[in-house]
Amino acid sequence: MLPLAEKMKVVAVGNQKGGVGKTTTALNLSAALAARGQRVLLIDLDPQANTTSGLGVECEGEDTVYPSLISDHDVRSCIRETGRDRLWLIPSHMDLAGVEIELARSDDHLTRLRGILQGLKPNDLFEYCILDTPPSLGVLMTSALAAADEVLVPLQCEWYGLEGLAKIVRVIDEIRDSGASPALRIEGIVMTMFDNRTNLARQVIEEVKNYFPQELYTTVIPRTVRISEAPSHSKTILEHDPTGTGATSYLSLAEEFLARHGVAAGV
């Protein structure tokens, strides 16, 4: 049996703007962290369930985090094996969309998920819990931010991405100031869909670097066909194109992530 993790770190991969590579980053960073020796629990909180289907996991409505959010259901019973070493999943299903209405009626809707995940921390096998969040500012998204220790923001290399960054920073500040997660912070900003043939992509990166020099990751994720097509094969980019630039970039991102957390990457 594997030794217990000292303390699970909860990281929300969040950006309320869609199409920025959020799910792709949550899925492939989790796989890359697992490949680097970390035990990772990936939670799909998006009712579109793209992370779930991208890993080839079938899910019924009751297998999601939904029953744990609205009752005393033990969330540990929802954890599924993914067929990948050191990577587990709590899947999603379209029925999860209904939790937005039910949670909104609850006085503790903002901290409900945080309480559930706090209960996993003392005696769990996972070093990291990665939350894939919906592309909106609804109850699921704000609950995920309140449950997280830190937020990783994927940002597309386009000017519209900067507007989305300003909004997510404001929401994070509001969550922190509300007292729901007083220590919540931006762990990092990852530039995605980078095309080195355009000056625009470099200009956007420089703009982000001017305002967030400490948060901006050195690793950038390229725009590649292989990354885009991997989910259609129910594979991570590490499985679909293990020697390509996409896999190399996500492995590099995982190593930079671990270095920021003071962890030496394993095999």
What pLDDT is attached to residue 123?
64
pTM, whole model, 2 decimals? Answer: 0.93
Maximum CA pair distance of the chain? 52
In this structure, are residues 121 and 4 in contact, taking their beta carbons and an 8 Å threshold?
no
What pLDDT is attached to residue 4?
45
What pLDDT is attached to residue 198?
84
For the chain, domain boundaries:
9-259
DSSP-assigned letters across all residues of the chain: -PPPPS-PEEEEE--SSSSSSHHHHHHHHHHHHHHTT--EEEEE--TT-HHHHHTT----GGGSSHHHHHS---GGGG-EEEEETTEEEE---GGGGGHHHHHHTSTTTTTHHHHHHHHHSTT-S-SEEEEEPPSSSSHHHHHHHHH-SEEEEEEESSHHHHHHHHHHHHHHHHHHHHTSSTT-EEEEEEEEEE-TT-HHHHHHHHHHHHH-TTTEEEEEEE--HHHHHGGGGT--HHHHSTTSHHHHHHHHHHHHHHHHTT-----
d(CA 200, CA 228): 21
Query: What is the three-state SS of 30-48?
Result: HHHHHHCCCCEEEEECCCC
Spell out the per-residue pLDDT of the chain, length 267, in tens.
Answer: 344 445 899 999 999 888 889 999 999 999 999 999 999 999 999 999 999 999 999 887 667 898 888 888 888 889 999 999 999 999 999 888 888 788 777 778 788 899 989 878 766 689 999 999 998 888 899 999 999 999 999 999 888 888 888 889 999 999 999 998 999 999 999 999 998 888 888 999 999 999 999 999 999 999 999 999 999 999 999 999 999 999 999 999 999 999 999 987 665
In this predicted model, what pLDDT tens digit does every residue of 169-206 receive, in sequence order?
999 999 999 998 999 999 999 999 998 888 888 999 99
Give the residues across from 142 on adjacent strands: none
Length of the chain: 267
**Which of 2.30.30.90, 3.40.50.300, 3.30.540.10, 3.20.20.70 is the CATH number of 9-259?**
3.40.50.300
